[in-house]
Amino acid sequence: MSLSARLCVVVRCCSSLDSARQTAKQITRYASTFNARDNNNFIQKSVFISQSTDVFVNLALEHWLYRNFDFSKHHILLFWRNDPCVVFGRHQNPWFECNVQASEKAGIALARRNSGGGTVYHDNGNLNLTFFTPRERYNRRYNLNIITNALFRQWGLKSVINKREDILVNDDCKISGTAAKLGKLNAYHHCTLLVNVNKANLSSILERKENSIVTNATTSIRSPIMNLIDINRNIQMDKLLSAIGWEYLRTKALALEDGRYDLVEQQKGFKFINPTEDWFPGIDNFTSEFRSWDWNFGRTPKFIVTRTLDFPAHDGKIYRLNLSLEVQNGFVEEIRMSLPAGLVSTDFAQDASVISNIRGTKYNHDVTENIITAIGGKTLNTTQQIIDENNMRLDEVTLQ
C-alpha cells in the first residue's frame, strides 16, 4: 500500500495563487487554532513532508519554520530529503571537511547549515528529520527514542543511542548523526537516517585529501556507518517515514509515553508541504542566502594554509622554503614565504605580479597550486596544514 493511501495524507495542490496564499496562512496559524484545549495543556502534533529535494530550499524551509512558527501548542516533525550534496556545520571549514574539488566536479552541492555539528553527505537514500519545539521543551533524547522505538516496533530492530547522541546498530555502526539550534523562543533538533545512501560517493566526497591537518575549529568525528537496508531489506524509505511519523503522533508531547491510536486521532496527521514563496512568504530570501558563496564559504573561520616546497634557484641549488596563505572570510588576505639564507630575492622578482594578483581573491585549492607553479617550486609533500586563528572549540549546539 502506498504511503499516501496508508496514512490518508491530504496533498495540498495549489491550483491558483489565492489558494496557495490561503494555504500559507493556514500553516502559519496552526498553533493558534487549538485554544479550546489550553486548559488541558494539550499540545497538537503534525508531521510535515517537504516536496523539495533541493538542499538550499529545505534548509530555508527549516529556517522559516524556526523563525516564524509558534510551537507553544503545536509541535512539528519535518521530513526532508535532498539530491546529492554535502552539508557542513555552521562553524566548520569546508576545505578541511570534504573534497571540495571532487564535489564541484561531480555537481554535488556544498551547503552550510545553521546548526553546529559535523559534515554529512546526503542523497535520496538519506532521510532527514527535524523536530521543532519551544526552547524550553527541547529534548534530543525524547526525539531519538521515537526513532529507535519506531525501528523496534515495525521491524524488531534494536538500536542504541550513544553519549554523542548518535544512533548505533550492531554495537558500533552509525545510522544517524545529530545536531541542533537553540533560539530564545524556538528550537530544533535535526538528525539523519542512513537508509540506502550511496556509500561509495559518501566515502570519496568526504575524503580528506590532505594527510595532516591541524585545526581548533569544529571537526567531524568519523565513524563506521551502515545503511538500514543492509540490516533489513524491508526497511524502505516510505515505510520508514510512515513508521516514524506514526510513532511521533502516538507519543505524548511532554513525556515518552505511548498514547496509542486515541492520541493519534487527536493530532493533525501527515501533510505534504510545498516550500515556495506562495506557501511561506519570505522563504525565497532565505533560500538565496543559503545558496550564496558568502554564506557557504565566506563564513569559514580564519585559517592558514601552509606548504613546504623545494625550489631550484638561479645558483643551481635546491632550497627548501615554506609558503603560507592567510585566509579571512574565504578570501586570501596574506601570502608569505620564508626564504632560507642564501636565496636572493631576485629569484622571485618575476613572480611578484602573480602572487600580488592572487591576494584578495577567493580561496580554493587552485590558488595554492597556482602560486607553486608560478614560482617554479615543487611540493615536498601533500600535507596541508590549516590552523584556525579563532581558536574555537564548539559542540554540536549553536546558541543564538
* DSSP of 364-389: -HHHHHHHHHHHT-EES-S--EEEET
Report which of 223, 207, 217 is spatially closest to residue 99, judged by C-alpha positions. 207
With b for 16 or more beta-carbon neighbours within 10 A and e for fewer, the 209-233 pattern comes to eeeebebbbbbbeeeebbbbbbbee
Looking at the chain, the domain(s) classified CATH 3.30.930.10 span 3-296
Superfamily (CATH) of domain 3-296:
Bira Bifunctional Protein; Domain 2 (3.30.930.10)
Output the CATH code of domain 303-394: 3.90.1010
**What does the pLDDT look like over 258-287, one tens digit per residue?**
999 999 998 989 999 999 999 999 999 999
- Which CA distances in Å does 13 have to 1, 48, 271? 22, 15, 11
Bridge partners for 169 per DSSP: 173
Q: Are 320 and 312 in contact (CB under 8 A)?
A: no
Q: What is the pTM of this model?
A: 0.83
Q: Cα separation of 290 and 281, whole Å?
A: 16
Mean pLDDT of the chain: 83
pLDDT for residue 47: 97
Residues near 242 by beta carbon (within 8 Å), at least 6 away in sequence: 3, 6, 7
Looking at the chain, the domain(s) classified CATH 3.90.1010 span 303-394
**pLDDT over threshold 60, residue 393:** no
Bridge partners for 331 per DSSP: 328, 362
Q: Are 195 and 82 in contact (CB under 8 A)?
A: no
pLDDT for residue 7: 45
* DSSP-assigned states of every residue in 275-324: -STTTSTTHHHHHHHHHSHHHHTTTSPPEEEEEEEEEE-TTS-EEEEEEE
Q: Cα separation of 48 and 28, whole Å?
A: 13
Report which of 329, 333, 324 is spatially closest to residue 302, judged by C-alpha positions. 329
**pLDDT over threshold 70, residue 117:** yes
Lowest-confidence segment of 148-157, 269-278, 307-316 by average pLDDT: 307-316
**Cell numbers of 263, please?**
492520541
**pLDDT over threshold 90, residue 143:** yes
In which band, very low, low, confident or very high, does the pLDDT at 307 lie, cut at 50, 70 and 90? confident
Mean of pLDDT values over 117-137: 96
